[in-house]
Amino acid sequence: MKSHPLLNKLMLLLLVLAITPSAFAQNKDLPNVVILATGGTIAGSADSGTQAGYTSGQVGIETMIAAVPGITDLANVTGEQVSNVGSQDMSVEIWLKLANRINELLATDDVDGIVITHGTDTQEETAFFLNLVVKSDKPVVTTGSMRPSTAVSAEGPLNLYNAVAIAANTKAKGHGVLVVMNDQIHSAHGVTKTNTTSVQTFMSPMHGLTGAVIYGRHEFYSKPHGIHGLDSEFSVHGVTSLPRVDIIYSGVDTPADLVDLSIKAGAKGIVIAGVGNGNMNAATLAACKKAAESGIVVVRSTRVPTGYVLRNAEVNDDENKTIASDELNAQKSRVLLMLALQKDRSLEDIQKLFYTY
Ligand code: ASP
């Protein structure tokens, strides 16, 4: 059946109205929050409520909002589907789309806060990336769940409720990107996933919790560490890709040729998830020194879950031309280095970034 051109135009207009901030007409006394859905277990489903296996990114944003009683009492909520992937498949392409959409939405007076639903596997990386490139001090909150939407005691709806409550609150302004899971509020800088299956997986081992939330009521304990948001020098406006940075995980007798293989494959930066205080075996350190002398930026981070990687402590960074990650884990070091390598910087400048972000 052929559709009438006028009908097509009307449909298009309705679609535009549905996804632009002007869709917030409902209650003028409530803040306006946009939920950007990217997928993950919060949108996952399984055949039974007790199945350990499930497929991420199955449920659309409208269904997710409908599953949260009382959410519309907190804010005028609208949803957009940015992607629908398990976060193991999160990509730079989706990051750029997400960041630019957030910046576009937050630049309007009609949007007061943003919630991003996301898989938990790489949530800390996305949160940290956005922390560095969102150009607004309005609340931006990521959330997800460990149990799929079909599970017995799925925690996604409460996490989403709590995330919207925080995104709707002006007190959350200026905190950078927050990760809200399991009644806790974490900063993007400090948070990391610590358990493969438990709902109590996110922790902030170096700085502790940013706050707590119980059925939407919340309290902030501290301001997040590190430069973020409006104070960040990084931008992805008009950016279509980021330089390749690889992580090499250290262990006993790790082959040093992994460094050369990475560089051959196009890496401009390498992060070593080192043992202890950012250590690696002598052959790998020699390969890293050679790489650094040829212009590849090498950051020493650690596979240890907490603690600093100290410059010129066990490893002489001056001599090896390496960067110490300070308190960023390997995955967040990689995010910072990808952004840092967008332009030419001296090693001193890059080291400073690791001290300040
Ligand atoms: N693999 C899932 C993901 O990150 C796990 C989760 O969301 O909990 O998308």
Q: Encode pLDDT of 135-145 as tens digits.
A: 999 999 999 99
Instruction: Name the residue with higher pLDDT: 239 or 25.
Output: 239
**Any ligand 1 atom below 6 A from CB of 146:** yes
Work out the end-to-end distance of the chain between its first and last CA atoms, rounded to an integer number of angstroms.
57
CATH code (residue 35): 3.40.50.1170
Residue type, 206: M
Mutation to probe ligand 1, out of 120, 124, 145, 182 (largest number of atoms < 8 A from CB): 120
Q: Which of 172, 197, 231 is the last residue of a domain?
A: 231
- pLDDT > 70? residue 168: yes
> Residue 184 has what pLDDT?
98
Domain that residue 112 falls in: 26-231
- CA within 13 Å, CB half, 265: 13
- Cα(177) to centroid(ligand 1), Å: 19
Confidence at residue 25, expressed as pLDDT on a 0 to 100 scale: 61
Residue 105 lies in a domain: yes
Query: Are 258 and 329 part of one and the same domain?
Result: yes
Q: Give 199's DSSP letter.
A: S
Instruction: Please indicate, yes or no, if residue 198 is contained in any of the structural domains.
Output: yes
Distance (Å) from CA 319 to ligand 1 centroid: 41
**Lowest pLDDT segment from 7-11, 198-202, 245-249:** 7-11
- Asked if residue 123 has pLDDT above 50, the reply is yes
Q: Please check whether residues 56 and 161 belong to one and the same domain.
A: yes
Q: Would the pLDDT of 148 be above 50?
A: yes
Q: Confirm whether 12 is domain-assigned.
A: no
15 within a domain of the structure (yes/no): no
How high is the pLDDT of residue 54? 85
Same domain, 105 and 218: yes
Higher-scoring residue by pLDDT: 247, 13: 247
Residue 327 covered by a domain:
yes
Q: Residue 302 is part of a domain; what is its CATH number?
A: 3.40.50.40
Ligand 1 proximity of 119 Cβ (cutoff 6 Å): yes
**Sign of the torsion formed by the C-alpha atoms of 62, 63, 65 and 70:** positive
Question: Hey, which residues are catalytic here?
Answer: 41
Tokens of 28: 């003028």
Mean pLDDT (whole number) for 311-338: 98
Residue 12 has pLDDT above 50, yes or no: no
Burial of 101 by CB count in 10 Å (0-12 exposed, 13-18 middle, 19+ buried)? middle
Percentages helix, strand, coil for the chain, rounded to the nearest 5? 35, 20, 45
Q: What value does the mean pLDDT of the chain take?
A: 93
What lies within 8 Å, CB to CB, of 192 at 6+ separation is 124, 202, 203, 204, 205, 305, 329
Ligand 1 centroid to Cα of residue 120, in Å, is: 5
The domain boundary, picked from 231, 256, 272, lies at 231
Alpha-carbon distance of 190 to 289, in angstroms, equals 29
CB 350 within 8 A of CB 318: no
pLDDT at 51: 85
For a mutational test of ligand 1's pocket, the pick from 64, 85, 88, i.e. the residue with the most ligand atoms closer than 8 A to its C-beta, is: 88
Q: Is residue 21 part of a domain?
A: no
Nearest atom (ligand 1) to Cα of 145: 8
Q: Report if pTM > 0.85.
A: yes
Q: Could you tell me if residue 1 is inside a domain?
A: no
* Mean pLDDT confidence for 56-70: 92
Cα-to-centroid distance, 313 and ligand 1 (Å): 37
Q: What is the tally of structural domains in the chain?
A: 2
DSSP alpha helix (H) spans, the chain: 5-19, 61-66, 71-74, 92-106, 123-133, 156-167, 257-264, 282-293, 317-320, 330-340, 347-356
Q: What is the rounded radius of gyration, in angstroms, for the C-alpha atoms of the chain?
A: 21
Q: How many CB atoms lie within 10 A of CB 11?
A: 11
Q: Is the CB of 210 under 6 A from ligand 1?
A: no
| One domain for residues 294 and 251 | yes
Do residues 208 and 338 both lie within one domain?
A: no
* Same domain, residue pair 111 and 198: yes
For 280, list phi and psi in degrees, rounded to 5: -150, 165
Q: Note whether 193 and 275 are same-domain residues.
A: no
Q: Residue 2's pLDDT is what? A: 43
Q: What is the pLDDT of residue 240?
A: 97
pLDDT confidence of residue 4: 47
pLDDT, residue 138, reads: 98
Please check the confidence at residue 6 and state whether its pLDDT lies above 60: no
298: its two tokens: 């090498």
Domain identity same for 188 and 316 = no
pLDDT digits 0-9 by tens, 195-221: 999 999 999 999 999 999 999 999 999
Instruction: Evaluate: CB of 38 within 6 angstroms of ligand 1.
Output: no
Q: Which pLDDT does position 23 carry in this prediction?
A: 61
Instruction: Tell me which residue of 285, 251, 281, 253 sits closest to 270, measured CA to CA.
Output: 285
Tell me, yes or no, whether 2 lies in a domain.
no
- pLDDT of 195: 98
Please check whether residues 284 and 199 belong to one and the same domain.
no
Residue 35 and residue 151 in one domain: yes
Ligand 1 atom at minimal distance to the Cα of residue 42: 7
Between 47 and 271, residue with greater pLDDT: 271
**Using a 6 Å cutoff on CB, does residue 246 contact ligand 1?**
no
From residue 192, how far is each of 41, 136, 332, 333 by CA, in Å?
17, 24, 9, 13
Instruction: Among 203, 231, 259, give the residue marking a domain's end.
Output: 231
Tell me: do 335 and 221 sit in the same domain.
no
Residue 355 CB coordination number (10 Å) = 11
Counting from 1 in the atom list of ligand 1, the atom nearest the Cα of 144 is 7
DSSP code at position 348: H
- Tell me which amino acid residue 37 is: A
What is residue 97's predicted lDDT score, i.e. its pLDDT? 98
137 shares its domain with 206:
yes
Neighbours of 1 (CB within 10 A): 2
Provide the pLDDT for residue 45: 87
